[in-house]
Amino acid sequence: MGDLPIWVEKILVGEERLPTWPVEGTTGYEACAAIARVLTDPEGLRRIDALWREETGEERDWPEVLAEAKAQVIRQDLAAELAQLKNLALAAVQASGEIEAGEEAIREAVLALLVEIPRYRTYLESDDPERRAEDARLLDEAADRAAEGLVSDMALRFVARAIRDGDTEEARRLRTRFQQVTGALMAKSQEDTAFYRFTRCLAHCEVGGEPGDPVWTPARFGEWLSERTGRDLTLTSSHDTKRAEDARMRLVAMTHLPDAFAHVWQASKAVDGAPKVDPRIRWYAVQSLLALWEDGRQDLEDRLAGHLEKALREAREVTNWTHPREEAEARPEDFARALAREWGRGLPDGAPR
């Protein structure tokens, strides 16, 4: 492209680094996550976590919630892709002659590997030996985790080897398609499902965010800054982020004021309809109103109820987009409107402001 600068919209996960491509950098989702992490108060988040678990009964940690979402999405939304990968893996088995394995064993192996891949995309065909070695190690570690739940890992180990460095044409086709599907699976299961289930602090349920690693020290933030090229973009909101900067920072701020948030949470229990709504849903609604509140706005009741409809359908635990259960959505939405109405009248006496 000559002198034309190029940035790529790529979401880096964990310690992942951008491949050595001829680009200026990414569009900056990692910056969005880093800012929220360094501004989050660790002790305040710990106290909010304890209250969240006590009030909602949630016992799972982020990796478990994400794995459950991935297993659901690959079986439902991406069922055609799973079937295609199974057929490609069977073709690779037949071409190799190394093992004998039935369709169900191969399907189970492919599914387990997909769930355990921790990034959007690997680059096992890369010309960069360091990148290729890193992604091969990532795949091997995913296979080790996936093997823990299987009666026999023979099919799993073969599929992993074929994806990693199989040299038949069938294995190459499997490798290409597998690496394409992991990105779609991560996007749909993390961004559009698990982020609406693991609702401890919604500031960290953001594209590029890591709810399981939500806090950075200033020193860690400084290390990250030192790795930037000076040409990377700093993104705070985009077409894909779940919340705008101001809304997200209000949610970060609640980690600095856990007592105030706890007071608001307790007051929300007295709002009309609260006892009839699952505490997990009420927890989400209270945070969402905190994030979008503006004194004097006239549309907050409908805005909050509409957002709650979206959140419930994305989470897909009581309703969903393809088969919405409007009767299951009605009580939470009525509660959301009542919550916004009560909030507009003023917080209870003694509530922190």
Nearest residue to 33 via CA among 190, 203, 197: 203
| Inter-residue contact 182 to 114 (CB < 8 Å) | yes
Distance from C-alpha of 123 to C-alpha of 117, rounded to nearest angstrom: 12
Three-state SS annotation for the chain = CCCCCCEECCCCCCCCCCCCCCCCEECCHHHHHHHHHHHCCHHHHHHHHHHHHHHHCCCCCHHHHHHHHHHHHHHCCCHHHHHHHHHHHHHHHHHHCCCCCCHHHHHHHHHHHHHHCCCCCCCCCCCCHHHHHHHHHHHHHHHHHHHCCCCCCHHHHHHHHHHHHCCCHHHHHHHHHHHHHHHHHHHHHHHCCHHHCCCCCHHHCCCCCCCCCCCCCHHHHHHHHHCCCCCCCCCCCCCCCCCCHHHHHHHHHCCCCHHHHHHHHHHHCCCCCHHHCCHHHHHHHHHHHHHHCCCCCCCHHHHHHHHHHHHHHHHCCCCCCCCCCHHHHHHHHHHHHHHHHHHHHCCCCCCCC
Structure tokens at 89: 């893996």
| Inter-residue contact 122 to 80 (CB < 8 Å) | no
| Inter-residue contact 313 to 319 (CB < 8 Å) | yes
pLDDT at residue 182, as a whole number: 98
Residue 21, CA distances (Å) to 24, 42, 136 in order: 9, 36, 19
Structure tokens at 313: 């359908």
- Of the chain, the end-to-end C-alpha distance in Å amounts to 53
Nearest residue to 285 via CA among 263, 300, 299: 300
Residue type, 102: G
Residue 313, CA distances (Å) to 132, 302, 320 in order: 38, 17, 4
Write down the pTM of the prediction.
Answer: 0.93
C-alpha angle 216/115/59, rounded to 5°? 60
Structure tokens at 124: 């096992």
pLDDT at residue 347, as a whole number: 54
pLDDT at residue 152, as a whole number: 86
pLDDT at residue 135, as a whole number: 96
> By CB neighbour count within 10 A (0-12 exposed, 13-18 middle, 19+ buried), where does 294 fall?
exposed
Q: What is the mean pLDDT of each run of 10 residues along the chain (353 residues)?
A: 91 91 94 97 98 98 97 97 98 92 94 97 94 96 93 93 96 98 97 97 95 97 93 93 95 97 96 96 98 91 97 96 95 97 70 48
